[in-house]
Structure 1
């Protein structure tokens, strides 16, 4: 539960400054919902659908990947790379780190991609995430929730050093290197050294899963503000990127949170639309690909460009206008803003 009278600040202090692009995209796993490996055509369908979603507040032309390795292989570059090059989709690369004391296969796949695609590949890379929720998995709450095998801060830091060494003197030299984890992992002081080691912090924010915080859809904004600002506070001066957030359209209830298409739409309007174009966001998710998740987050069925709910943002949200998907050529909006717009709200939460 929140402590009595916690002061919450609206999470808009991490906005991008003038002339910076705010990346807008979805997460994409290496396999389909039946656990078979995605092929290049599968990734291409995803990326093209994301760029042409009806009513979308801007073009979703970025993807967050969890691994560099093609599913079912040892160290072959993931076919998402070719699909991204062919569709001009920017990438937040991911290296899978949990359950291993080496990331050699991940680095081999990355190096092979650099050799094959060169600068056109590098130009699409917005950053490199070394791991995903590894610190959460070994935390008390992660263990309690059977989150799986994790990796400790010392190992993550060592892997970050390995990545920096591997990309030195390549086309990826100078790309920001970070780590993605839960807000609770970032606010845990035992992980401060990881914050010091990265160029950016990726955070996964799900009010839906915060069952100890009155996690109704009506309270989602309050909960989001709280956990986002926890991450911002822990990050200090390090940039914070929102690498996952969303509300499930179907599945079991979690605490007081109820999955539904209507609630997913409400979450999109109240949370997403206040972030799109202002800070980097990779939404969860365009389509479901993790069979272990009983909650389903996909905003579209069968990669239809007509989503399950209207993506057009409320006029007072400040989000970009809907894109015209009927045009022959979809123009990618710049999504740049002339100044930081800071909106702070003071909320007292009474237990």
Structure 2
């Protein structure tokens, strides 16, 4: 075996281990009336998600936007307690916009680890440093008054701070990512963030792609174009789809029309055809908790386990199986402009302009959500699997070189 072959094997092992196909929803720290969520609220979401009728897999993971309990300085979010009791996997989040410090976020997580130990850390499948921070400082984000963001240097600084803080803990092996809109990843000025992460989190809403023929029948093609554009620039780093969905109610957006029927069509053409059990996916959303968004994306009413539409996946799809080669390009001329709208649950609420993470982050991402299961992994922490695969691959490479 040549060294190049050994390196390829090592890369394949690492890539395979880092691509467990979780199913989940998003969950912010507050309810629709801006009041704080507590353990019972998170637990109800998680139990509903795990028992959805006709779901294409068990939804047993949840993406959080912050580690901080709403309206506290650095108390751990009570979603941790609920996750331990319901055996729900966690994609953790640290709010990185509008602040020059994530100390409160880190303190909250350290307190939670001290309290729950391995019962919590074994559930952590990833850590996202920031959410749509790069989009909000882009020309499109500024034009759409998306709120305060953070530049790539700030995001990378916070990534390094997290690594240093948890270097000698059970969270040291957790894969670190960043979540942003698809066109933020294709912007070369953000390459420092891409280089710093283990996985790439993508928020993509064809509903908001005005000027591109964003009617529901074209939604699958628009999603594929955005996904392919990101794939073209991230190399072998796995893509996690951290937010996507179609609203059931709200105003029309160019050619896009909210309805239960269209939400079902999008679930089928994007979720069933492209994502579920193929790509780590956190759907938006189980229930609505963002009062600032007039479009409502919840697939359930009052957290009923019987959704608003049948979650059964069809056997036939309308979206073409391939897109033209031009849609894979990361250039703006090939993929079109940015969506023009921040994702519906990603902006922080609470006190703005704070120099600490506590106020902004504690109420950040006020979308509710629950969880989903990775059908290919019953309970092992992704970071541990990734570390084992990388170690095995590197050992193989070392052995080959020793024989030369």
Flag whether TM exceeds 0.5 (same fold). Answer: yes
In the alignment, structure 1 residue 240 sits paired with structure 2 residue 245: no
- Whole-Å separation in 1 of the counterparts to 2:265 and 2:316: 14
Label 1:19 to 1:152 Cα distance change in 2 as closer, same or farther (>3 A).
closer
- Whole-Å separation in 1 of the counterparts to 2:248 and 2:312: 17
Deviation digits for residues 28-48 of structure 1 (CA, Å, limit 9, x no counterpart): 010001100001000000000
Aligned residue among 334, 339, 342 for 2:375: 334
Calculate the TM-score normalised by the size of structure 1.
Answer: 0.85
- Residue 55 of structure 2 corresponds to 56
Residue 288 of structure 2 contacts residue 296 of structure 2 at CA under 8 Å; is this kept in 1? Answer: yes
- Residue 67 of structure 1 corresponds to 66
Calculate the TM-score normalised by the size of structure 2.
Answer: 0.74
- Residue 83 of structure 1 corresponds to 82
The 3-state SS of whatever aligns with 1:142 is helix
Instruction: Give the deviation of 1:88 after TM superposition.
Output: 0.3
The 3-state SS of whatever aligns with 2:247 is coil
- Whole-Å separation in 2 of the counterparts to 1:24 and 1:224: 18
- Whole-Å separation in 1 of the counterparts to 2:164 and 2:17: 31
- Whole-Å separation in 2 of the counterparts to 1:232 and 1:163: 26
Instruction: Give the deviation of 1:238 after TM superposition.
Output: 1.3
The 3-state SS of whatever aligns with 2:20 is coil
Instruction: Give the deviation of 1:211 after TM superposition.
Output: 0.5
Residue 44 of structure 1 contacts residue 83 of structure 1 at CA under 8 Å; is this kept in 2? Answer: yes
Match runs of 1:3-82 below 5 Å: 17=16, 21-82=20-81
Label 1:201 to 1:120 Cα distance change in 2 as closer, same or farther (>3 A).
same
Instruction: Give the deviation of 1:20 after TM superposition.
Output: 6.1
In the alignment, structure 1 residue 301 sits paired with structure 2 residue 301: yes
Stretches of structure 2 lacking an aligned partner (at least 5 in a row): 1-14, 318-372, 378-404
Label 1:305 to 1:146 Cα distance change in 2 as closer, same or farther (>3 A).
same
- Whole-Å separation in 1 of the counterparts to 2:144 and 2:210: 12
Stretches of structure 1 lacking an aligned partner (at least 5 in a row): 1-15, 318-331, 337-351
Label 1:175 to 1:333 Cα distance change in 2 as closer, same or farther (>3 A).
closer
Is the radius of gyration larger for structure 1 or structure 2? 2
- Whole-Å separation in 1 of the counterparts to 2:171 and 2:163: 9
Label 1:171 to 1:93 Cα distance change in 2 as closer, same or farther (>3 A).
same
Residue 47 of structure 1 contacts residue 87 of structure 1 at CA under 8 Å; is this kept in 2? Answer: yes
Instruction: Give the deviation of 1:209 after TM superposition.
Output: 0.7
Instruction: Give the deviation of 1:270 after TM superposition.
Output: 0.6
- Residue 117 of structure 2 corresponds to 118
Deviation digits for residues 89-123 of structure 1 (CA, Å, limit 9, x no counterpart): 00100001110011000000011111111111111
- Residue 280 of structure 1 corresponds to 280
- Residue 270 of structure 1 corresponds to 269
- Whole-Å separation in 2 of the counterparts to 1:164 and 1:201: 17
Instruction: Give the deviation of 1:231 after TM superposition.
Output: 1.2
Deviation digits for residues 153-198 of structure 1 (CA, Å, limit 9, x no counterpart): 1000000001111111111111001100000110111001100011
- Residue 143 of structure 2 corresponds to 144
In the alignment, structure 1 residue 205 sits paired with structure 2 residue 246: no
Instruction: Give the deviation of 1:333 after TM superposition.
Output: 7.3
Aligned residues, how many? 308
Instruction: Give the deviation of 1:334 after TM superposition.
Output: 3.2
Deviation digits for residues 191-239 of structure 1 (CA, Å, limit 9, x no counterpart): 0110001111100011001102111001101100111111111211211
Deviation digits for residues 39-65 of structure 1 (CA, Å, limit 9, x no counterpart): 100000000000000111111000000
**How large is the Cα RMSD of the aligned pairs?**
1.6
- Whole-Å separation in 2 of the counterparts to 1:335 and 1:168: 28
Residue 278 of structure 1 contacts residue 335 of structure 1 at CA under 8 Å; is this kept in 2? Answer: no
- Residue 358 of structure 2 corresponds to none
Residue 208 of structure 1 contacts residue 247 of structure 1 at CA under 8 Å; is this kept in 2? Answer: yes
| Larger fraction in helix | 2
Q: Name segments (4+ residues, structure 1) moved above 4 Å.
A: 16-20
Instruction: Give the deviation of 1:18 after TM superposition.
Output: 8.5
